Amino acid sequence: MRIELPCRYWHGDSLAFDGPGGILAHAFFPRTHREGEVHFDYDEDWSVGNAVGTDLLQVAAHEFGHVLGLQHSLEPDAVMSPFYSDAYPLKLSEDDTRGIQHLYGPPTASRPDRTETNHIDFGELDACTTSFDAVSMIRGEMFFFKSRYVWRIRDGRLQAGYPALASRHWRGIPDHIDAAYEDKSGNIWFFQGESYWVFDAERKITGPDSVRQLGLPVSDIQAALRWEEDDIEKVYLFKSASYWSFDPQVNRVAAVHPRSMHRWGGLPGHVDAAFQDRYGENRTRRVLWTSTWSSADCSSLALTGYANFLSGLHYWRFDPVALKLLEGYPRSIGGDFFSCSV
């Protein structure tokens, strides 16, 4: 086993660290080109044996599990839980024990099958075959939401450690969300059922609050699209074949009665998610972001790409200014965003 400490940001393995918080460390599984290596993020506040900072032993034990071949566990008290815990004393859970015995134990009749463990079933979380609940550009990165989980794409690459529980970033959001968007000030809005939440980076500002306070006459919004043009911010909230125009200046919809999506010609009647990209050809201004999630750092964020609508396993790219669908769409979500074979 080879342990590397410290490492900062890009450190030679194409898996950059992200500064304080977020990804604490990563390891390489058996039978990979860097098997046995464990890297720790230099910028964490590391400590040993106390509640101050991030405990090195807790994180190391988790990463050593990966080196041995263990995947993440859904058991919250497991060493192989995907989220940091400072619970003491450090000990293996029953699920950790079953997992390691499955990999290395003697072939006895009592050895449990993999289906009896509580590891995350990545077949169910396969981005290539998943229809997502919500998608949003947040701090210049793309976040895809499904059930309790989120995928994080930076500069076109899925980041290490994902999918992960969305509560890793936004503690207090519900187990699944219906829609999400980041507003002009850098706050993130989440919608689920009859409620909405607002976060400043990872800190909850408000929620759950009723969507009725926003003037919405319905619940279960399916998609939220923020659009900014000439420094004027617009937000559209979609459900079925209708949408409402939401005014961020007064936090109210412009009218109780919805408009028809027929004017968005060529789009499917049902959308799962929507987001404005920053990759539109000859239409993109630079997006400023830093490794920290400070809304002040992102106050100049301005997106000028296209509107993207997801339905099932496909997405449509739309020009809201010209009110037309771009040629060649729909396309595969998995193929274009997760490099899946289609």
As annotated, the binding site for Zn(2+) includes 11, 13, 26, 39, 62, 66, 72, 80
Which of 35, 37, 63, 116 is catalytic? The answer is 63
Q: How many whole angstroms separate alpha carbon 316 and alpha carbon 280?
A: 13
Neighbours of 260 (CB within 10 A): 9
Distances (CA, A) of 280 to 65, 67, 141, 151, 317: 42, 40, 15, 22, 10
Binding site, by residue number, is: 11, 13, 18-19, 26, 39, 41, 44, 62, 66, 72, 80, 133, 178, 180, 224, 272
Written as one letter, the residue type at 111 is R
Measure CA of the first residue to CA of the last residue in the chain; give whole Å: 37
* Residue 131 vs residues 59, 311, 328: alpha-carbon distances, Å: 32, 7, 20
In sequence order, what are the residues at sequence separation of 6 or more whose Cβ sits closer than 8 angstroms to the Cβ of residue 124?
none
DSSP character string of 68-85 = HT---BS-TTSTT-SS--
The pair of three-digit structure tokens given for residue 26, joined into one six-digit string: 């990563």
Q: Which residues are annotated as a binding site for Ca(2+)?
A: 18-19, 41, 44, 133, 178, 180, 224, 272
Instruction: Verify whether residue 63 is a known catalytic residue.
Output: yes
Residue 6, preceding peptide bond in cis (omega within 30° of 0): yes
The amino acid at residue 5 is L
**How distant is the alpha carbon of residue 314 from its chain centre?**
18
Active site residues: 63
